[in-house]
């Protein structure tokens, strides 16, 4: 075994260097004067808006599929869902394995209101979808958020499956055949939402992402965000310090659900046709993978994670039926090389670094989600 250990020891050093390299980028970024930072952000956002005009950019294009369509229908939707899930998993530290439920509720609410049982315009149906999903989040959270860690995970997983099975078995929701003819988003000025041109959908989703990012960012730095961090790091200590943990966990659930529903309703508006098969458990798993792969708790990381998870299977189309095999292997390899995520949350990265110093003593996982694996003396207090 010593050979294996030696090999990974080498990897660890290389990884350390990379973490430091990345951290220094972060330090330099924060050291920039505020106007410079704003200018860079504006330039980046402008570049993102202009990206689809490029058509099929080299290197990052997707062989065999329309790149702009991938951007609009997969990547933007995934990024939005990942940002929503990050509020729950990354910020409040609640493991949600059924996030697809809220995404589905968003899509189905829009579909039911605007196509199956009414003709509410898309722009009105979306806020209703968000409200419905937030209520569903509170409804699910109230009895279950007293559960900890993995128990919460299985209950949310069950909720995701229940939503899907209900959709399959309820004629009012279209049953297995689903709902078609969902109206497109309304035209704004020269922007026309048509079936073939994916650009307007991309711009719409990108705008939604920016609004949500600003919103979540403000929340993160507010009293609510600090409460979430406290709950994530140590729920008992937070409770003792006077944080109403249950209330804030419920908020995290509801806000995450709302963002998930926004993502789902944009998806419904883009594809115009949904059925229960669009909302499998695998999708929950992929959303979670986006959050963790990017770096749970770090918005930039989560966005990158969403991009990678949505983009890789398209990029791998060259492998044909082996593309999900390659994707799975890529996930394992990425986790081995960057277990803290592509752009780690600063706090998590710092703790991991600390844990690596104590590695010989401690390498059995325990404790909370974001805690690095240390010996786990708290594990038996939870019965």
Partner 1 sequence: MITASLLVDQFWTFTITGLAQGAIYALVALGYTLVYGVLRLINFAHSEVFMVGTFGALFATRWMGVELGDPTDHGALAVIGFLVVCGLVAMAFSGGTAVALELIAYRPLRRRGAPRLAFLISAIGASFALFEAMAVWQGRNPIPFPRLFEPKELFRFFDASVTQRQVIVVVFAVLMMVALQLFVSKSRLGRGIRATAQDSETARMLGVNTDNTILVTFLLGGIMAGGAALLFLIKDEQTRFNIGFLLGIKAFTAAVLGGIGNLRGALIGGLALGLVENYGAAIFGTQWKDVVAFVVLVVVLMFRPTGLLGEQLGRSRA
CA distance 132 to 203: 25
* H or E element in which residue 333 lies: helix 323-337
Alpha helices in 179-318 (DSSP H): 199-220, 223-233, 235-240, 245-271, 281-294, 299-315
CA distance 267 to 204: 11
Both tokens assigned to 309: 């998870």
| Unique residue bearing structure tokens 């990354």 | 90
What is the DSSP secondary structure assignment for residue 92, as one 8-state letter? S
Nearer residue to partner 1 within complex by CB, 314 or 374: 374
Contact 107/264 with Cβ under 8 angstroms?
yes
**Residues 295, 23 contacting (CB under 8 angstroms):** no
Exposed/middle/buried for 304, CB within 10 Å: 0-12, 13-18, 19+? buried
- Measured CA to CA, the distance from residue 324 to residue 319 in angstroms comes to 9
Query: Which tokens belong to 61?
Result: 């294009």
Q: How far is the CB of 25 from partner 1 (least distance, A)?
A: 21
Q: Which of 182, 141, 177 is nearest to 159 (CA)?
A: 141
Q: With respect to partner 1, which residue has the nearer C-beta, 196 or 364?
A: 364
Query: Which tokens in the block code for residue 92?
Result: 């409040």
| Beta carbon nearer to partner 1, 4 or 195 | 4
What is the token pair recorded at 318? 């060259």
First vs last Cα of the chain: how many Å apart? 36
* Cα gap 266→140, rounded to integer Å: 23
**5 vs 247 by CB, closer to partner 1:** 5
Phi–psi pair at 16, nearest 5 degrees: -55, -45
**Between 10 and 186, whose beta carbon lies closer to partner 1?**
10
Nearest CA-CA partner of 130 in 283, 272, 270, 264: 264
For the record, the structure tokens of 172 come out as 């009012």
**Are 141 and 135 in contact, with CB atoms under 8 Å apart?**
no
């Amino acid at each position: 075994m010593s050979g294996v250990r030696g090999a990974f020891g080498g990897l660890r050093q290389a990884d350390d260097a990379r973490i430091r390299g990345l951290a220094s980028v972060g330090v330099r970024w924060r050291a920039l004067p505020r106007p410079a930072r704003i200018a860079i952000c504006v330039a980046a956002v402008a570049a993102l808006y202009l990206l689809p005009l490029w058509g099929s950019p080299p290197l990052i294009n997707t062989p065999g599929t329309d790149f702009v369509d991938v951007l609009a229908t997969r990547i933007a939707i995934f990024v939005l869902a990942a940002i929503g899930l990050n509020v729950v998993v990354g910020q409040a530290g609640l493991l949600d394995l059924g996030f697809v439920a809220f995404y589905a509720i968003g899509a189905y609410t829009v579909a039911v209101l605007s196509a199956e049982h009414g003709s509410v315009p898309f722009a009105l149906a979306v806020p209703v979808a968000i409200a419905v999903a937030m209520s569903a989040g509170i409804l699910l959270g109230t009895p279950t958020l007293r559960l900890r860690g993995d128990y919460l995970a299985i209950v949310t997983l069950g909720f995701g499956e229940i939503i899907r099975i209900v959709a399959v078995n309820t004629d009012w929701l279209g049953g297995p055949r689903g709902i078609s003819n969902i109206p497109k988003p309304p035209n704004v000025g020269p922007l026309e939402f048509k079936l073939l041109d994916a650009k307007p959908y991309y711009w719409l989703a990108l705008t939604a992402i920016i609004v949500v990012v600003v919103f979540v960012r403000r929340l993160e730095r507010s009293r609510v965000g600090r409460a979430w961090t406290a709950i994530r790091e140590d729920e008992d200590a937070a409770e003792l310090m006077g944080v109403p943990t249950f209330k804030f966990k419920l908020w995290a659930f509801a806000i995450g659900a709302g963002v998930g529903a926004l993502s789902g309703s944009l998806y419904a508006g883009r594809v115009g046709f949904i059925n229960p098969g669009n909302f499998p458990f695998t999708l929950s798993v992929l959303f979670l993978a986006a959050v963790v792969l990017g770096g749970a708790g770090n918005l930039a990381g989560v966005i990158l994670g969403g991009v990678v998870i949505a983009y890789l299977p398209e990029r791998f189309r060259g492998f044909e039926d082996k593309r999900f095999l390659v994707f799975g292997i890529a996930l394992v390899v990425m986790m081995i090389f960057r277990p803290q995520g592509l752009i780690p949350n600063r706090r998590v990265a710092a703790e991991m670094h600390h844990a690596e110093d104590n590695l010989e003593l401690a390498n059995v996982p325990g404790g909370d989600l974001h805690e690095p694996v240390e010996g786990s003396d708290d594990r038996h207090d939870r019965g």
